[in-house]
Chains A and B, each alone.
Chain A
Amino acid sequence: MNIIRIISIYRFVRVPIVALVAVVLLPLFNTKAVVAEDIPKTDHGAATMEYQNKELDRLLPSVDVSKAPSSFDDVVWKAFIPEDNSMTAERVALGRKLYFDKRLSADGTVSCATCHDVTRGFTDQLAVSEGIKDQLGRRNAPTTLNVTLLQIVFLDGRSPTLEHQAKQPIINPIEMGMPDGQAAVDAIKGDAEYQAAFKKAYGRKVNYDDIGRAIAAFERTLVFVDSPFRRFLDGDEDAISAEAEEGWELYNEKGRCMTCHPMNPSNPLGTDNRFHNVGVSARHQDFEGLAKQALKAMEEDPSERKLDELALSTDMSELGRFMVTKNRSDIGAFRTPLLLNIGITPPYMHDGTVETLWDVMDHYNKGGEANLFLDGGMEPLALTEEEINSIVAFLFSLTDFRFAEENQRQFERQRAQAKKKRPLRDDDMAFRLKLAFEK
């Protein structure tokens, strides 16, 4: 049954290289599907590093990392790579080792892969992430899939590059908890394998900046953009279901999705790389009070580290982009995520409070949560239940083929849950029978 589905997916492949990869991958898919419960687990609910590594071998057969991924133009791809961190096999190999190394955390229980787990859509599929000593943060872990395609990193954009971003969680007290970068270096510098690997990758001793660079180089290999919808955009009309196609039309018209999630053949990523208040945290936060508190806290300590801490472990997290710009118009605004692989990265929104894609649609359908700083593009959408189903079907068509099983599993799980409860559904708001400030 499994193999029939795979074959039907690849029936329409037109590019010979992709077809070749498919042939190579076919036997791998032809193993008994691993149910989530069978995956060997380790600290904080993550799959064991060994298991994740094996999975990654399956997902990413070795390729020449110095070349653009098959679906990318060389020139476009080069724009994503900083000059001081060109892609080499040595750097990617080092980064991969670091990505899975729990020694980079203060208590040895957390690696990058704990919250960006290969088996869970390269996130943790939790509302908010769990760090050392089982501490919970305030933000939903974004997937590291395709993260290199973002122009600005972290949900509030407080990091300009992947290289810079990779160094922050290691020293955040509630994530990996190292007192500083040097402590992370100290934790691994005695390891002869690392000494050799750093030498080969960067020609230097183990150092913190190169830890960031190597992890970024590895993450740049996590390009997973080959979805049914991508094939559809390329001209294969049968690549997605009629329902998903209907959803795509709604996405561009009545649903207004493309306003912030532009998606077209030349830019199929689904993000404007900007920050919007869609009202998620307005459900439970007093923005004015928090903003005052935040300005005071940042005046006392304007450091980058303090910002990282405030963003992850206090209510000020809900202020989003405001914490970076101190601009009132950025209050409660978060970066538009990539929509690729959205089906396998629940729960949703910056705080993980929205459990299914049906709930996401309910949130937008009612025009978001009313608050003073609500983005000007937010309007009640008056989508019917059928239309919501179509858009959700479309969203599930954005997942890379290599995650087809997990995507199907998520679709069924989310659909079952949405049948039981729709906590954000509000037809009065969606159809403007009630106005936002009359609640």
Chain B
Amino acid sequence: MESNSKNIETKYMDRRAFLKVSTAAMGAAVASGLGPFQTFQTVNVAQGAGSSDKVTPFRFAYISDSHLYEKKINDRFVRALLRAVADVNSLEPQPDFVFYGGDLAQLGQPKELELGAEILKEVKAPVKMMVGEHDWYLDMGEKWRELFGEPVYSWDHKGVHLVTLNSVVERDFWTARGMTAMERMMTVAGLDNGVQSPFSVGERQRAWLEKDLAGYSDDTPLIVFSHSPLYKLYKKWNFWTDDAEEVQAILKRFKRVVVIHGHTHQLLTNRIGNIHFHGMLSTAWPWPYAPEGMPELTIEMSRPDPFNANDGCGDGEVHVQADGLVDKVYNLWNRTPLTVGRAYTASWGKESVPPKPNRASY
């Protein structure tokens, strides 16, 4: 599945977004015989390896973890995704792209994924998709790939190299147990169960990643997207990537690496060596913080209002600065939006400390 860097934006761009792609890229696409729908891969080909470390600052927006059910079962999550789409569409100027952080569906049902695809079609900017475990384990990604393409890919953008991983790979726990597809899905969708395996990126994908990065100099700023955090926070909820150390080792030689992840549904900030980690908000619900393993840099949100389904949810933006580090905006729907600036993680939390909430965490 990770054998090439095909981009899911492809099937996804409406005509207007499509026209925004540079003619150079399109030319390259046609020349390489891949057709006009393989745009960003060909950008990769066109710019190739060893791109310079000069970044033109840019902004992208994110939406994540919508966990859609069919709307007759749960219309609130549907309304929440509609709101996120309106949020990113209202940005002026428009973000360079909108990144979707995974778990579009709740139980991997074709109807859930189709509903999500239909809503995300309204996004004006190009959409980049990442897969989450809720999208995957009913049919092992068949429907998701049909709608959005391959889940693992990379591209260059304004001096930054960006990589989207599938970090929710689980060992086969289902065959030996004789589980049905739905049983497998329900098991993965649960927390606190010892049956499912921890998430990982896996050997094949790590090999692909090494190869993908091979041509890039250590000075190239990297942004890596993963659904689960690429570190070990709390295993019981799979706030965890089992081969995190191996992946971090691959990223280690780069001077500036930002990892943006979904799955945790909360304000979450971490730094391990050269790697700066930022979580994404969910549009569906906020998770409580894990009882152990919390990174010191995280300023925890206070407990969301249980009567207000929007509280602690939202979407956001990522402002990529000239040095490749990012200001991460948490656009909280029922609170004042909050930015975790690049200076905060760069100074190991000494400078530009984001405002602490006036109520206790949870």
Q: How many Å lie between the Cα of A372 and that of B82 in the bound state?
A: 7
Query: Is B23 among interface residues, defined by CB-CB distance under 8 A?
Result: no
Instruction: Give the Cβ gap from B97 to chain A, nearest Cβ, in Å.
Output: 20
Q: How many Å lie between the Cα of A292 and that of B91 in the bound state?
A: 10
**A328's contact among B71, B75, B331, by CB below 8 Å, is which?**
B331
- Stretch in contact with the other chain, from A70-78, A373-381, A415-423: A373-381
Instruction: Give the Cβ gap from A228 to chain B, nearest Cβ, in Å.
Output: 27
Query: Is B79 among interface residues, defined by CB-CB distance under 8 A?
Result: yes
B332 proximity list for chain A (CB < 8 A)? 329
Interface residues on B, range: 20 to 34
**B75's contact among A372, A373, A435, by CB below 8 Å, is which?**
A435
| CB <8 Å contact, A259 and B307 | yes
* Contact A377 to B308, CB < 8 A, known contacts A328-B87, A329-B332, A329-B335: yes
Query: Is A164 among interface residues, defined by CB-CB distance under 8 A?
Result: no
Q: How many Å lie between the Cα of A435 and that of B333 in the bound state?
A: 21
| CB <8 Å contact, A327 and B336 | yes
Q: How many Å lie between the Cα of A57 and that of B86 in the bound state?
A: 54
Query: Is B142 among interface residues, defined by CB-CB distance under 8 A?
Result: no
**A372's contact among B83, B305, B307, B314, by CB below 8 Å, is which?**
B83
B310 proximity list for chain A (CB < 8 A)? 329, 375-376
Instruction: Give the Cβ gap from B76 to chain A, nearest Cβ, in Å.
Output: 8
* Contact A437 to B308, CB < 8 A, known contacts A328-B331, A376-B334: no
| CB <8 Å contact, A288 and B90 | yes
A370 proximity list for chain B (CB < 8 A)? 79
A376 proximity list for chain B (CB < 8 A)? 305, 308-311, 313, 333-334
| CB <8 Å contact, B307 and A377 | yes
Instruction: Give the Cβ gap from B212 to chain A, nearest Cβ, in Å.
Output: 37
| CB <8 Å contact, A256 and B307 | yes
| CB <8 Å contact, A437 and B79 | yes
Query: Is A2 among interface residues, defined by CB-CB distance under 8 A?
Result: no
Query: Is A325 among interface residues, defined by CB-CB distance under 8 A?
Result: yes
Residue in A377, A436, A437 whose Cβ sees the most chain B Cβ within 10 Å: A377
Q: How many Å lie between the Cα of A372 and that of B331 in the bound state?
A: 14
| CB <8 Å contact, A329 and B334 | yes
Instruction: Give the Cβ gap from A241 to chain B, nearest Cβ, in Å.
Output: 28
B92 proximity list for chain A (CB < 8 A)? 292
Instruction: Give the Cβ gap from B239 to chain A, nearest Cβ, in Å.
Output: 24
Q: How many Å lie between the Cα of A325 and that of B337 in the bound state?
A: 11
**A325's contact among B79, B331, B336, by CB below 8 Å, is which?**
B336
Q: How many Å lie between the Cα of A373 and that of B333 in the bound state?
A: 8
Query: Is B43 among interface residues, defined by CB-CB distance under 8 A?
Result: no
Query: Is B78 among interface residues, defined by CB-CB distance under 8 A?
Result: yes
B293-339, CB < 8 A from A: 305, 307-311, 313-314, 331-337
**A288's contact among B86, B308, B334, B336, by CB below 8 Å, is which?**
B86
| CB <8 Å contact, A377 and B336 | no
| CB <8 Å contact, B86 and A372 | yes
Q: How many Å lie between the Cα of A288 and that of B88 in the bound state?
A: 12
**A435's contact among B71, B307, B335, B336, by CB below 8 Å, is which?**
B71
Give a binary string over B68-82; 1 marks a CB under 8 Å from any A CB, 0 the rest.
000110010011001
Q: How many Å lie between the Cα of A372 and that of B87 in the bound state?
A: 9
Q: How many Å lie between the Cα of A83 and that of B330 in the bound state?
A: 38
Q: How many Å lie between the Cα of A325 and that of B92 in the bound state?
A: 18
| CB <8 Å contact, B309 and A328 | no
* Contact A377 to B309, CB < 8 A, known contacts A372-B83, A436-B75: yes
Instruction: Give the Cβ gap from A116 to chain B, nearest Cβ, in Å.
Output: 32
**A437's contact among B82, B87, B307, B333, by CB below 8 Å, is which?**
B82
A288 proximity list for chain B (CB < 8 A)? 86, 90
Q: How many Å lie between the Cα of A377 and that of B90 in the bound state?
A: 24
B78 proximity list for chain A (CB < 8 A)? 437
A435 proximity list for chain B (CB < 8 A)? 71-72, 75
Q: How many Å lie between the Cα of A329 and that of B72 in the bound state?
A: 26
Q: How many Å lie between the Cα of A256 and that of B305 in the bound state?
A: 14
Q: How many Å lie between the Cα of A366 and that of B117 in the bound state?
A: 28
From B312, which residue of chain A is reached at the shortest CB distance? A376
A327 proximity list for chain B (CB < 8 A)? 336-337
Q: How many Å lie between the Cα of A234 and that of B75 in the bound state?
A: 41
A436 proximity list for chain B (CB < 8 A)? 75, 79
Give a binary string over A364-391; 1 marks a CB under 8 Å from any B CB, 0 the rest.
0000001011111100000000000000
Instruction: Give the Cβ gap from B45 to chain A, nearest Cβ, in Å.
Output: 39
Q: How many Å lie between the Cα of A377 and that of B308 in the bound state?
A: 4
Which residues of A does B touch, CB under 8 Å?
256, 259, 288, 291-292, 325, 327-329, 370, 372-377, 435-437
5 additional A-B pairs beyond A259-B307, A325-B336, beta carbons within 8 Å, are A288-B90, A328-B331, A329-B331, A375-B310, A376-B333
Q: Which 3 A-B pairs have the closest CB atoms?
A: A376-B310, A376-B308, A376-B309
